[in-house]
Amino acid sequence: MKESPIFVRTYDWLRWMLHTTQNFPKSQRFVLAQRLQQKSLDFYDHLVAAGRRVQTLDNLQQADVLLEQMRLTTRLCKDMNLLSVKQYEHAARLLAEIGRLLGGWLSKVRK
């Protein structure tokens, strides 16, 4: 389970995002940074539960909603100049890849 590409890419996202949000200004560390961190960790929790075959479809659907919230929060961080364009491009690439992997997993489970 942990070797699956979605777990590897999500882990990469978490490492990058947690490191990057530590550098947010203090005023946003407890707003946007905390929100992005919590949603990302919750996303990973849902993947782990689905990987353990605990309410797989429900957990994947909740992960899908969280992924969209992560994308929107990341975009807001860029728009508020908390992320550089280069950082945002990196984040968007990671989230897009995770989204494709999640979409494939969801399709497989629904069949």
Residue 46 · residue 99 · CB < 8 Å: no
Return the biggest CA–CA distance within the chain.
46
pLDDT of residue 41: 98
The CATH number for 22's domain is 1.20.1440.60
Residue 81 phi/psi, 5-degree rounding, is 60, 30
Q: Residues 44-81: pLDDT tens digits?
A: 999 999 999 999 999 999 999 999 999 999 999 999 99
pLDDT of residue 3: 79
Grade residue 2 by pLDDT with cuts at 50, 70 and 90: low
What domain range is 32 assigned to?
5-110
Domain count, the chain: 1
Q: Residues 83-110: pLDDT tens digits?
A: 999 999 999 999 999 999 999 999 999 9
